[in-house]
């Protein structure tokens, strides 16, 4: 197994830039929803030349986090970071082990997703700390405006945006690189008998997203009906029934 600059480091750098831009779309600038899992994963796949993997992972992740939005003071797990890492790790893993025949099996998506979930909390912690620093900066800006000194305001706004961009460039770069290496190690030791279960996990993940939307504000009876409906739909799609 030979890892070259061209096949690994450079793609990670591009993904780091993408992660920075996608994070800024969440709350800092733009906010045109390109940070949503479906779009973020597809962008990651497009950067690495495999849109199908990105789209496949994105559809699963979008349904998982369909009811979660970073609105107001709510700071949910960083689904954008996870959505960038999951398909990226899969595609880079396939390149490293030279296994294009693996295509986009649900089992590998499940493994990458399960391993990447903690990154959502890491991204959330970094986001919280950045917002706390912005709170301190906001107090300083108010004091400067109150004293009639408005010249530094724009500079501090750009500094805030720049800091967030740099932090998530670094976080995205190292997250993709680390998760790819972990995936290479983990995939090689997973017994064959576990792959069916992992595929079922991947196919069942969207159920939780569908239920969370259908059952929002519902009574326990309606929640049960929503969950049953989602399960029936899943089994029909999976060909079990």
Distance CA 201, CA 197 (A): 6
Q: What is the pLDDT of residue 118?
A: 92
Q: What is the pLDDT of residue 178?
A: 94
Q: Are the CB atoms for 58 and 83 separated by under 8 Å? A: yes
Q: What is the pLDDT of residue 241?
A: 38
Distance CA 103, CA 129 (A): 38
Q: Which pair of structure tokens corresponds to residue 235?
A: 């089994």
Q: Which pair of structure tokens corresponds to residue 45?
A: 């796949």
The residue written with tokens 């070259």 in the block is: 4
Sign of CA dihedral 128, 76, 118, 113: negative
Distance CA 57, CA 178 (A): 18
Question: Rounded to an integer, what is the distance from CA 50 to the centroid of its chain?
Answer: 17
Domain residue spans in the chain? 5-128+163-190, 192-241
Alpha helices (H) along 76-150: 79-97, 106-146
Q: What is the pLDDT of residue 97?
A: 80
Rg (CA), the chain: 20
Which residue from 179, 174, 166 is spatially nearest to 12, judged by alpha carbons?
174
SS3 state at 55: helix
Q: What is the pLDDT of residue 19?
A: 94
pTM exceeds 0.75, yes or no: yes
Q: Are the CB atoms for 49 and 42 separated by under 8 Å? A: no
Q: What is the pLDDT of residue 138?
A: 76
Q: Which residues does the chain have with pLDDT short of 50?
A: 1, 101, 103, 240-241
Q: What is the pLDDT of residue 203?
A: 74
């Amino acid at each position: 197994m030979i890892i070259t600059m061209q096949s690994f480091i450079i793609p990670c750098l591009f993904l780091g830039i993408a992660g920075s831009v996608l994070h800024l779309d969440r709350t800092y600038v733009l906010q045109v929803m390109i940070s949503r899992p479906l779009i973020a994963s597809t962008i990651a796949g497009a950067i690495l030349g495999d849109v199908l993997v990105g789209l496949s992972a994105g559809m699963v992740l979008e349904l998982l986090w369909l009811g979660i939005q970073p609105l107001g003071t709510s700071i949910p797990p960083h689904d954008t970071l996870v959505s960038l890492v999951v398909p990226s790790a899969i595609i880079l893993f396939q390149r490293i082990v030279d296994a294009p025949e693996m295509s986009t099996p649900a089992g590998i998506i499940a493994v990458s997703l399960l391993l990447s979930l903690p990154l959502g909390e890491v991204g959330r912690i970094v986001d919280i700390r950045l917002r706390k620093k912005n709170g301190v900066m906001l107090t300083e800006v108010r004091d400067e405006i109150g004293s009639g000194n408005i010249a530094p305001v724009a500079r501090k706004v750009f500094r805030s945006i720049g800091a967030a961009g740099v932090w998530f460039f670094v976080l995205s770069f190292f997250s993709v690189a680390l998760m790819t290496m972990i995936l290479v190690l983990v995939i090689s030791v997973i017994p064959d008998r576990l792959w069916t279960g992992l595929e079922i996990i991947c196919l069942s993940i969207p159920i939780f997203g569908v239920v969370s939307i259908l059952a929002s504000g519902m009574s326990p009876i309606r929640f049960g009906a929503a969950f049953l409906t989602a399960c029936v739909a899943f089994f029909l799609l999976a060909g079990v029934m």
